[in-house]
Structure 1
Amino acid sequence: MTDTLWYTRCPVPTASGLAHSLGWLAEAAAGHGLRFGVLQDAGPELAGFHFSHELAGLIREGGNVPALAARAEGSPTRLIGLTWIDEAQAILVGPRSEVSAPADLAGLRIGVPAWARDRARSFPRAMALHGFADALRLGGLTLADVRVVELGVERDPQVRTEIQDRRRNVTWGVDELLDGSVDAIYVKGARAREVAAEHGLRVAVDLDATETKRLRVNNGTPRPITVHQELLDTHPDVVIGFLAQSLRAADWAAGDLDGVRTVLQRETLSGPAGVVAAYGADFHRGLHPTLSAERLELLDVQKRFLYTHGFLAADFDLDSWVAPEPLEQARALVAAGTVTV
């Protein structure tokens, strides 16, 4: 029997991350008689569940590569929400590179992280491949028009404490780009932009600048909220309460940009300038999770890309993964003003 609500997330802007930072998730779990635990603060024996999602009682809001890979492996999860926050995706080149447009990528050596221990942990490779594929498409090119150079990676990444994460190289390929081993790398997020600025690297392709959302689909866009089936079956009110607190946090965020940025500096492990550069001035108004037809379609774009490039063990029906009722009921609670902690 589940006695703990477990939560895990990635260091990015999310409504659930804000609700956790504000203490609302822990208080909501306690209100249902459950303890509250965060994988980032747990021991190594639990760390792997961030990727496999086989821990009963777990709710995860994080990158879609591990979530989709786990589901394709048969992990008993359900999709209960999707968020979309553009997070500064770009193709970087060296300080003296003359590359300044997507078409200029033709013939270049692109740095792509190597495979990790398994498909779910190979999210850096998936991110880079999809980012480059979309950048090349903007220039009328494909991955066949460039040369892939594999970058060394940590083969068994785990969820980490903040101190460990601050030592982690969050931008794969910077050293290789600086020493001339590769001509271009893919980066995303607040800390990545800070690293680029520190080394004088140039943005050759700003993927966030394209108005076509399909060309911005990647590991974090859209970002799934998934729940272990056992928790949904045995404690549906806890799942609904989790989502209600996330919606409440999204409402709070929409009216307090400075407060959100303060929280995000802790969540993203970056400074104020990195948060502003990565997420801009309006992201705080769009943190609400949905299961809209558009977001599900964009997640399907990512699923098909991952399956084509070997990141999924098998294909699966996306619609059968979706459990819309908890989010619908959470919205009703928020609308009625009955969400408290």
Structure 2
Amino acid sequence: MANNDVKVTTFENTKLNVRKLDWNEVFYTNCPLISASNVDQELGWTREEFKKLGVDYNYFRYYRETDWYPHYIHNQDNLIRFGGLFPPVHVQADIRRTRLLGVTHAPKEGGCMMVRSRDDIYTMQELKGKKIGISKSMNQVKNDWWRIQEHQGIELMLRINGMTMDDIELVEFPYADDWYNDPKMLEPMLNPSDLWLQRDHKHDLAFRPLETALEKGIIDACYTQSKPLQQLSEATGKFKAIEDLSLHPDWTLQVANIPAAITCSDVMYNEHPELAVAFMKGMIRVGRWSNENKHAAAGILDRQTFYLDVEHTFEGIKPIDIVPNLSPQNMASVEIGKDFMLKHGYIKNDFDVHEWAAPDIIEKAARELLEEEWHKKTMLKLPQAADPLSGAGRVG
């Protein structure tokens, strides 16, 4: 569905705004998904780690000087991002050097194919010759992560049902996607939760962009993220899922914009690694608490994610390890997402995801937490605390 009147945003016709760099302050940004950062923004434990260093720690939209683009293109050296996979892959490939500090994977949220609930369609094969929607951002400054996950999910669902893109009609829906430096969107925010308190995000169709076209019959089907968004659509009574990648045994199908990735700039990593370590100490602490108190964590996450309610959020996060890691399986998932983007032209340059990763940061964070806990406990009963972890050897 071509629309030549939709505004195109480029680096040439837009102005980027970022607060002047000061290493006495660190900023974070995150996506509304399952992560320790989304829990921590209510607990404040990572801020405690930065206070130990005498560094201010705030949401990146804390000051009006900064627009929304750093969340997508990481054009802020003292920023740490925790969010969907595709934007940081794009940044590392084509925009600037960053380091991957850890990931959190949601292993049972692969994506669904939605159709109208009263349509006489029950299988993917019945979509042959029919129209499947796909969005298209006209903003060339940032990564088109909505489209990439739709593209990846559609292609996978067709393939596991013995079909290809040639069997369906893919209908594009271009949109301007130009709000990132709109003055109306630049009111300072203390916390990402402020954004969700201002909008009914569980019923906001901005997060289900093709649902209206499906309801009106302009298309016959569309992709949506499974679990968080699928049930919101189905709760209207208007839609149903006929395919769900999360129900298949193949774990490599569960990689639509996930694992969620933590990235910092190469400048922070090289010149101020203690800041990255402080952030990861907070993520480990909050992640451990969340794993041990899943229902309490669900109560926090429900305020900013897309599950139906707290109980639904609780069920959704049960299989998720909320402590970030760089496990071999999760790194393989990162590589799958990166390779899809490269194959389909969503990034221009390739890179080695293992060289991107910085396991030394999370290892140092874990070591420091162990040492602090050891000193805390031994000082209660010893005249001088023992120091068994002070050597240079690796932990684990």
TM-score with structure 1 setting the length? 0.90
Letter in 1 for 2:368: L
Hey, what's the Cα distance between the residues in 1 that align with 2:295 and 2:176?
35
Amino acid corresponding to residue 241 of structure 1 in structure 2: A
Is 1:181 matched with 2:218?
Answer: yes
Could you report, residue by residue, the CA deviation over 1:233-286 in whole angstroms, capped at 9, with x for unpaired residues? 23212211211211111111122122111111112166416x6179536135x1
The counterpart of 1:306, out of the listed 331, 335, 341, is 341
Shift of 1:37: 1.8
Alignment partners' CA distance in 2, 1:257 and 1:177 = 35
Q: Distance in 2 between matches of 1:121 and 1:21?
A: 28
Which residue in the other structure is 1:144 paired with? 166
1:217 aligns with 2:255: yes
Q: Which residue of 2 aligns with 1:328?
A: 363
Distance 1:196 1:150 in 2: 23
Structure 1, unaligned stretches of length 5 or more?
none
Question: Larger deviation: 158-167 or 132-141?
Answer: 158-167
Quote how far apart the aligned CAs of 1:42 are: 4.4
User: Does 2:149 align with 1:131?
Assistant: no
Map Cα deviations across residues 45-75 of structure 1 (whole Å, 9 max, x no partner): 3310001112011111111111111111231
Q: Which has the larger radius of gyration?
A: 2
In structure 2, what is the Cα distance between the partners aligned to 1:101 and 1:294?
31
Identify the range of structure 1 (142-151 vs 299-308) with the bigger mean alpha-carbon deviation. 142-151
Query: Contact between 1:69 and 1:119, CA under 8 Å: does it hold in 2?
Result: no
Question: Counterpart of 2:74 in structure 1: which amino acid?
Answer: H
> Partner residue of 1:282?
318
- Give ranges in structure 2 of 5+ residues lacking alignment: 1-21, 186-191, 377-396
May I ask how many residue pairs the two structures share in their alignment? 337
Partner of residue 38, structure 1: 59
Instruction: Kindly indicate whether the alpha-carbon contact (under 8 Å) linking 2:110 and 2:256 is maintained by their aligned counterparts in 1.
Output: no
What is the alpha-carbon root mean square deviation over aligned residues? Answer: 2.5
Residue identity over aligned pairs, in percent, reads: 24
Give the helix-richer structure, 1 or 2: 1
Of 293, 299, 304, the match for 1:267:
304
Report if the CA contact (8 A) 1:190-1:279 is conserved. Answer: no
Superposition map of 1:1-341 within 5 A: 1-43=22-64, 45-85=66-106, 86-87=108-109, 89-118=111-140, 120-156=142-178, 158=180, 161-162=195-196, 163=198, 166=201, 167=204, 169-188=206-225, 190-219=228-257, 221-268=258-305, 271-272=308-309, 276=312, 280=316, 282-284=318-320, 286-338=321-373
Q: TM-score, normalised by structure 2?
A: 0.78
Partner of 2:5: none
AA aligned to 2:279 is F
Q: How far did 1:118 drift?
A: 1.9
Alpha-carbon distance in structure 2 between the residues aligned to 1:119 and 1:127: 18
